[in-house]
Structure 1
Amino acid sequence: VLLCGCVRLCAGSARGPLGVVMLPCPASPARTQERGEAEPTPTGEMKEECQRLVRERDEAECRLKQIKRVSQMVLEEVNALHTQLEIEKSCRENAEVLATKLSHENKKLKYLSLSRPCLDELLPSISDCTATEEEPQDISPDPYSQYQQQVKDLQETVTQLLEEKKQLTGQLQELQSNIEELTARLEKEQAEMTELRNVLEKQTKTIKSINRVSVMATQEYEELRQQLELEQNLRQKAEAFAHEMLIKQKEANRQSAILLHQADPSIQLLKALEEVANITKMLEEERLQHQKQIKELESHLDETALQKELGTVQRQLELVEEERRETEQRVQHMEQRNFELENKVQELEKLKLQIA
């Protein structure tokens, strides 16, 4: 039984430092594909980085489970060796008891044989036989010392396995605490990134609405400005036309006055007076109409106050742009922290590979 236990222990030590072959956890194929691709936007890249960190955390947990399983197998093997040692110890004790009992029985049989009548004749032969039996016992090695040496070797092996198990347990606890810390930091970073993403979406919507309002206000302001320029041009033309008509009216009045001083008014004078009256009436109507249009345009400009509204919209747009720049700076800071977390995860992977 002891020889079988030693053979089993040697075969187990040939498989590895812990007696168990440790298999690496298979890497995810999405990870290699992820390193070869480039994301078009910073937010998409951060999302992919977070997903990759989550996958690496899952791989680390998988390897931790494998290490735990290996340590459990080592414990089971140590327990089996301990049980085997107990069995061998009990077998050895039983063998010693049986050997002692057999030796006592042999001595009794020898004493009985010596008590026979031919005791004197058999004494020399018995002494010779005992001498020949004692000599090979002295030459042959003691089985008890061999058993003690084997038990000592097995105890040293068990002690070494327990020390290795203790070291692995400490390393497992340290790795587990590091992974828990990284997981908590990763969850916190993901929450902050989600909040920043929501803020960016809100600011984008606000900027779009402000841009739409500013475009509409600019278009309305441009239309009113063009209308005002048109009215001013029409007013200038009307004033020039009125001035020209006034000159013509004065000239016609002067001519009519000259004609009135003459003795006989003619038909041409009457026609000229009638034409002057019609022109005067038409000029007065046009003047009144232009004054009305100018007053309406001025009142409309006073009511809308587009310039003030445009100034307010521009100030709001500047504030939103400043908030957007601050948010982009925060996003860059988050990307830097994610890069640091990725480096720490890679260091943990290297450490676990060294342990494996």
Structure 2
Amino acid sequence: RLPALAWRGRVYAVEVARDAMSVFASNLVPLDGSRIVARSLGCATWLAARLGARLHILSATPHERPARDELARLQVPEQHWPLVTLHQGSAYPEDAILTAVARHAIDLVVMTAGGQTAEAFASPQADDAGAVGHVTCAIIERSPAPVLLLPPHYREVLPWQRALVPVSGEIEAGEALALAVRLANALALEVHVAHVADTDTDDESLAARARYADAVHHEFPRQLEELVRRALTHCAPEECRPIAEIALCHGDVAAELRLLIEGRRVSVLVVGWHGRFTEGRAKVLKQLLQAITIPVLLVKPAARRPFRLKVGEALE
């Protein structure tokens, strides 16, 4: 049984049965030689060093070079070379990245929102459609592994100290919270959990389930704690200790999350989502990517085998 979840608590770095490497043991960073994409190296190498993970670098280059020369060209800090496995190719369209994810059993992909063409969308006037390039869009939609996405206005602040996890009651949000808690134990982070009740747009929110107008003061806190408990069913009590806050907000989802990010000095936003970034989808995520400066860890639900009912001889 999980411990009672207080609205505020204290973060603990605890020893758990899983070691740090069980979170993200094999990570991939695609590089194309551009300045913007190279920004992912700082975060990726820090994570690899802290988690004791193997860092795979997929480099797009017309001519294969000796590994040391290529790593130097890509500005990978020499102290991190022992962690790195380099893969070189003439280009890395989305198929090459997805092939590498499958071939090397990648647990996490770290990439910027755009590559060489992202310079055109770096201004504050860029629209939502320009927040993510076409290759990145394909990866976040199709990758079976979580993707750590660095937004166009990303500013590197290391080490991480706090993670924010929005929850809604959907499976995706629950799995994101469980992963965030595991990562928090490995990196000694605080976890801040938040639900934003938006009666206009969020059909899966607690607001949509409310039975009376005053539910925000009575039903919502209880339901929110229950959502958190369900998401952490498979976590041991000591693993839940990094949860420092369960916040209940009301209003525009993107605006409220931005306030929490700024007010709590959040280091990483952990988001569970369906994996669809096409037109008309992921509106809140697109708004956040244009506004925030911290990385976003995108988590899709694990693939589930279809249910098959055995009948007749299949039961014997």
Q: Give the TM-score category using the shorter length.
A: under 0.3
Rg comparison, structure with higher value: 1
Structure of higher RCO (CA pairs closer than 8 Å, 6+ residues apart):
1
Length-normalised TM-score, structure 2: 0.18
Length-normalised TM-score, structure 1: 0.16
Higher fraction of strand: 2
